[in-house]
């Protein structure tokens, strides 16, 4: 995965900053590039925008945040 992938998500989020899936996907890309703090931020943005019907997405984001924030503190 390259930096260009994140640039694509940044562009998508310029168009629609309330796109929860774009925030999630950006977080995944940042995580794969070991950009932990940025991934945490993207996941938190996703969590703030995800609706109640996105229960699986919300559960996934909470799991990722728990793991990443634990790593970030160590």
- Domains of the chain in start order, with CATH, are 3-73 (1.25.40.10)
Nearest to 65 by CA among 49, 52, 47: 47
Beta carbons of 26 and 5 less than 8 angstroms apart: no
Residue 48: phi and psi, rounded to 5, are -70, -20
Mean pLDDT of 64-69: 95
The answer to whether the beta carbons of residues 33 and 6 sit under 8 Å apart is: yes
Closest CA to 24 of 34, 11, 9: 9
Residue-wise pLDDT tens digits, 11-64: 999 999 999 999 999 999 999 999 999 999 999 999 999 988 889 999 999 999
- Residue 1 in this model has a pLDDT that exceeds 70: no
State the pTM of this model.
0.88
């Amino acid at each position: 995965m390259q930096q260009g992938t994140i640039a694509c998500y940044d562009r998508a989020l310029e168009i629609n900053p309330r796109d929860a899936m774009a925030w999630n996907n950006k977080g995944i890309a940042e995580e794969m590039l070991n950009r932990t703090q940025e991934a945490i931020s993207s996941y938190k943005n996703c969590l703030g925008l995800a609706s109640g019907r996105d229960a699986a997405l919300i559960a996934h984001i909470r799991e990722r945040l728990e793991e990443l924030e634990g790593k970030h503190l160590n």
